[in-house]
Amino acid sequence: MAKIDMPHVPYRGASLVLNDLIPGRVDVYFASGSLLENVRAGQIRVLGVTGTRRDAAAPEVPTISEAGLPGYEVMSWQALFVASRTPPAIVEKIHNDVDKTLADPAVRVKLQETGYAAVGSNPAELRRMLEMEIVKWRSVIKDARLKAEPG
């Protein structure tokens, strides 16, 4: 969207990236809210959040869209997956247990402190979100003419 040529530099974890980001050997890193501690310590500067809304953990940080790239939105998410043959009763139990955990005020506070918002969904909602993500990223890959490189 920004017409920036930004080569990907693979790292094996955030701690290794920070070893290069803090002294300036790497210019930019897309990361999770877990780096807010480093931001607050003055080691790195956050430029923007990639979602559609400012993050409650750092409301002073604009979205990338607000910062000058209208329409930009990249969502970070985690999900639990099980084998397709898992009995529905087990899937329902896992879903209910995770929802209960995400509703716990202590869990919500801890997640929010590190820049995560606890949002649960059911299997059907997750499936719809995944389908939308596949369409979105397929288009990005095609438009950018990205090709997989051998590892």
Amino acid at 50: T
Assign 149 a pLDDT band (cuts: 50, 70, 90). confident
Structural contact between residues 52 and 73, judged by C-beta atoms closer than 8 angstroms: yes
Place of tokens 């000058």: 68
- Whole-model pTM? 0.70
The pLDDT, as a whole number, for residue 131 is: 96
Q: What is the pLDDT of residues 82-124, one digit of tens each?
A: 999 999 999 999 999 999 999 999 998 888 877 777 788 888 9
The pLDDT, as a whole number, for residue 118 is: 79
List the domains of the chain with CATH numbers: 1-75 (3.40.190.10), 77-151 (no CATH)
Q: How far apart are CA 4 and CA 88, in angstroms?
A: 46
Assign 68 a pLDDT band (cuts: 50, 70, 90). very high
Residue 151, pLDDT > 70, answer no
Residue 12, pLDDT > 70, answer yes
**Mean pLDDT of the 66-84 span:** 91
The overall average pLDDT reported for the chain is: 89
Give percent of the chain with pLDDT exceeding 90: 52
The residues, ordered by sequence, that sit 6+ positions from 122 with a Cβ below 8 Å of its Cβ are 95
Q: What is the pLDDT of residues 19-37, one digit of tens each?
A: 999 999 999 998 877 788 8
